[in-house]
Amino acid sequence: MTTVLLVLLAVLVVGLAVAFLLRRRFLLSGLGAVTVWLRPVGSPRWSVGVAWYSGDVLLWYRGLSLSVRPQERFCRSELRIDSRREAGRDDLSLPADVVVLACTTPEGPRDLAMDPSTVTGFLSWMESAPPGG
């Protein structure tokens, strides 16, 4: 009986690991998929994830999750970049070379951190909004 439970537990753990890796591969294989760290302003914790450009919406999926739904949706017309800075002392969980963007969204302020090349693409996407949009 104990052996059967251990085998079932092992199969469950391997199944979850495979599901997690397949989800990650799927998210990163898409065109326009980039790694983005997200932190609500005032929170000390950064969450790594994958962002997808989908027309006028940036979809953000948490990296350490099995969910197939995006955790955040940023509409280009409702997103405002307030400031830009290098990662500092309070950003120890981030790679040293990322750029942190302080943003305002309808849900409240957010900090987004990205590689410099990703910031260039993100700002181009923000500026390419249609007039009046």
Q: Which pLDDT value is given to residue 76?
A: 92
pTM equals 0.77
Here the tokens at position 105 are 């969204």
Q: Give the pLDDT confidence score for residue 29 in this predicted structure.
A: 65
Q: Which two tokens stand for residue 103?
A: 């943003």
Q: Which domains does the chain have, with CATH numbers?
A: 31-127 (2.30.29.30)
Q: Which residue has the tokens 């940036």?
A: 58
Query: Range with the lowest mean pLDDT among 20-34, 36-50, 93-107?
Result: 20-34
Kindly indicate the confidence band of residue 90, based on its pLDDT and cuts at 50, 70 and 90: confident
Token pair recorded at residue 78: 């409702």
pLDDT at 119 over 90: yes
Structural Rg of the chain based on CA atoms: 18
- Of the two residues 52 and 67, the one the predictor is more confident about is 52
Nearest C-alpha neighbor of 59 from the set 32, 82, 19: 32
How far is the C-alpha of 88 from the C-alpha of 80, rounded, in Å?
22
- The single-letter DSSP state of residue 91 is G
Long-range contacts for 54-57 (Cβ within 8 Å, ≥24 apart)?
Answer: 56/129, 56/133
Answer yes or no: are the C-beta atoms of 111 and 99 closer than 8 Å.
no
Q: What percent of the chain has pLDDT over 90?
A: 39
Are 67 and 82 spatial neighbours (Cβ–Cβ below 8 Å)? Answer: no
pLDDT at site 115: 94
**pLDDT at residue 83, as a whole number:** 95
